[in-house]
């Protein structure tokens, strides 16, 4: 998620101070990914350094309003007008954990799948309970439902992947998936120190 670009997009609506940006971000994302104010101010300072926002003078209450620049508007337009690149997949801890469990002697990968499936079902049910019923009434409800829908679809995809993985593991005898350490040692590594 691009906090930087999200803050710029909000500032494109008008000047805001840090805590106000946090509140606006939460309103527009259903408070799914909370931001701390320190993260917002450090991001604003980097945006200022890059010429995408300018800092205003404090008001009577001490709020410093930040304003987007023309370069910042261009950046927001480019971001909103381009796809999110998913070329380099993030490290998926569950996929790595299952791959290792499936190849380690003596580890029951099926048990790992059952434990994860129970957790995914619980998460999915919790998300479904928080999802608004029917069509959203206003823009805040719509924004929140879009984020919750994405999380529901991700949980459903995880369950499908777990089912798929369980079927693949069931097709192979356990002795055919276990990997011992390779006998051939890699040529590279930390050199031996000689006194």
Three-state secondary structure string covering 71-101: HHHHHHHHHHCCCCCCCCCCCCHHHHHHHHH
Question: How would you class 96 by CB atoms within 10 Å of its CB: exposed for 0-12, middle for 13-18, buried for 19 or more?
Answer: exposed
Assess contact for 76 and 8: CB atoms under 8 A.
Answer: yes
Instruction: Find the distance separating the first CA and the last CA of the chain, reported in whole Å.
Output: 50
Assess contact for 151 and 179: CB atoms under 8 A.
Answer: no
- pLDDT tens for the chain, 195 residues: list them: 588 999 999 999 999 999 999 998 988 887 777 788 899 999 999 999 999 999 998 899 999 999 999 999 999 999 999 888 776 666 778 888 888 888 878 888 899 999 999 999 999 999 998 877 777 778 888 888 888 899 999 999 999 999 999 999 887 765 566 667 677 776 776 666 776
């Amino acid at each position: 998620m691009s906090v930087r670009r999200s803050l710029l997009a909000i500032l494109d609506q008008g000047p805001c101070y840090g805590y106000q940006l946090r509140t606006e971000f939460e309103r527009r994302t259903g408070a799914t990914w909370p931001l701390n104010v320190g993260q917002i101010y450090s991001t604003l300072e980097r945006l200022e350094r890059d010429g995408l926002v300018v800092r205003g003078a404090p008001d009577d209450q001490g709020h410093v309003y930040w304003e987007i620049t023309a370069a910042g508007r261009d950046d927001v337009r480019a971001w909103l007008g381009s796809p999110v690149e998913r070329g380099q997949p993030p490290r998926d801890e569950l996929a790595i954990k299952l791959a290792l469990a499936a190849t380690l002697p003596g580890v029951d990968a099926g048990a790992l799948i059952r434990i994860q499936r129970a957790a995914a079902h619980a998460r999915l049910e919790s998300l479904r309970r928080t999802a608004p019923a029917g069509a959203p009434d206003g823009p805040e409800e719509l924004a929140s439902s879009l984020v919750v829908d994405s999380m529901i679809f991700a949980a459903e995809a995880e369950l499908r992947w777990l089912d798929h993985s369980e079927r693949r593991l069931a097709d192979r005898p356990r002795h055919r998936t276990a990997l011992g350490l390779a006998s051939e040692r890699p040529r590279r590594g930390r050199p031996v120190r000689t006194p």
